[in-house]
Homo-oligomer: A and B are copies of this chain.
Amino acid sequence: MSIADDFDLQNFLPYLLNQAAEESSLRFQQVYKDRYGMLRTEWRVLFHLGIYGKMTAKEIGERSKMHKTKISRAVAKLAERRFLTRQRDGADRRLEYLELTEAGRRAYRDLRQVAMEYDSALAARFSDADMATLRRMLRALASGAA
């Protein structure tokens, strides 16, 4: 009954995805952690602002699917370190526009460079066709559309 069960954990997609995600995040994590003392939520916010420009916490939440409390705390940390500035919307004073400072942009560019090189190193292990398939499937899985 227990020995040689036919179910294979290594092929269970959610498990396999988690293992791959964790392993592939390790080295990048070392960089943003050691070099900037950031958490995962913080580099994600930094990247959203670096890539898409000025936006509100709500928009970051919609794009990243991170919970608003995580974003709120990450934003507070980044603001404290002078990596971003906040400006209230004049018309709707609930909204706050977030924008990277020059220091924030420098950190973003630095980490983006690391990310791109790391991504290339990962991709180099597979054929272009396989990588295209992988990315397409991961996007489909991430979008969750049944």
Contact = CB atoms under 8 A, between A and B. Distances in A.
A17 B14 contact: no
| Stoichiometry, copies per complex | 2
15 contacts: A5-B50, A7-B116, A8-B51, A12-B119, A14-B122, A16-B142, A17-B17, A17-B138, A19-B142, A20-B142, A21-B21, A22-B65, A126-B137, A126-B140, A133-B133
Nearest to A141: B20
A25 B14 CA distance: 5
B12 A115 contact: yes
A82 to B, nearest CB: 16
Please report whether the interface of chain A is mostly helix, strand, loop or mixed according to DSSP: helix
Given A14-B25, A16-B135, A21-B18, A140 B125 contact: yes
